[in-house]
């Protein structure tokens, strides 16, 4: 079972932009109530999509420069990266079935070698 990778300024490039697997990045903060609602959904996505997507978390208070770089103005923001670039942004709480549908739609647009066994 996979768990989300905690992202810092030091590991962002390796874990996200250089990843050969699409990465769902959760931009969040401890004080954010909607972030606490989406956290179990993000955890479940990490576990249920092992090998299909990597899930990562960025604490915007600890690493504000990453939030600035990607234009995160509201949290939670879920950002899906594919081939090192931002390909989808989802702002606010989204129920898990809808979130999986949106992720699956994006994954289908990426090269097949990256999502060969997609069940999303």
Is pLDDT above 70 for 117?
no
Q: How many domains, in total, are found in the chain?
A: 1
From the CB of residue 1, how many other CB atoms can be counted at a distance below 10 Å? 7
Q: Indicate if 35 belongs to the active site.
A: yes
State pTM to two decimals: 0.89
* Marked catalytic residue, from 35, 53, 63, 78: 35
71 included as an active-site residue: no
Q: Report the CATH number that the domain containing residue 49 is assigned in CATH.
A: 3.40.30.10
Domain containing 17: what range? Answer: 5-114
Domain contains 79: yes
For the chain, how big is the Rg over CA atoms in Å? 13
Indicate the SS3 state at residue 38. Answer: helix
Q: Strand runs (DSSP E) across 1-120, as ranges?
A: 5-6, 23-28, 54-59, 77-82, 85-91
Cβ partners under 8 Å of residue 71, min gap 6: none
Residue 90 lies in a domain: yes
Convert the pLDDT of each residue in 41-100 to its tens digit.
Answer: 999 999 998 989 999 999 999 999 999 999 999 999 999 999 999 999 999 999 999 999
Is residue 119 in a domain?
no
Q: Could you report the per-residue pLDDT of 1-51, keeping only the tens digit for each?
A: 578 999 999 999 999 999 999 999 999 999 999 999 999 999 999 999 898
Residue with tokens 């992202």: 7
- Per annotation, catalytic residue among 2, 21, 29, 32: 32
């Amino acid at each position: 079972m996979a768990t989300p990778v905690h992202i810092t300024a030091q590991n962002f490039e390796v874990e996200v932009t250089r990843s050969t697997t699409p990465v769902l990045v959760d931009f969040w903060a401890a004080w954010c109530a909607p972030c606490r609602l989406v956290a179990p959904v993000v955890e479940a996505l990490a576990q249920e999509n092992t090998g299909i997507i990597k899930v990562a978390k960025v604490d915007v208070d600890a690493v504000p420069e990453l939030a600035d770089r990607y234009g995160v103005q509201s949290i939670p923001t879920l950002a899906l990266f594919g081939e090192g670039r931002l390909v989808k942004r989802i702002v606010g709480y989204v129920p898990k079935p809808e979130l999986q549908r949106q992720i699956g739609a994006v994954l289908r647009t990426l090269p097949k070698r990256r999502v060969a066994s997609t069940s999303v």
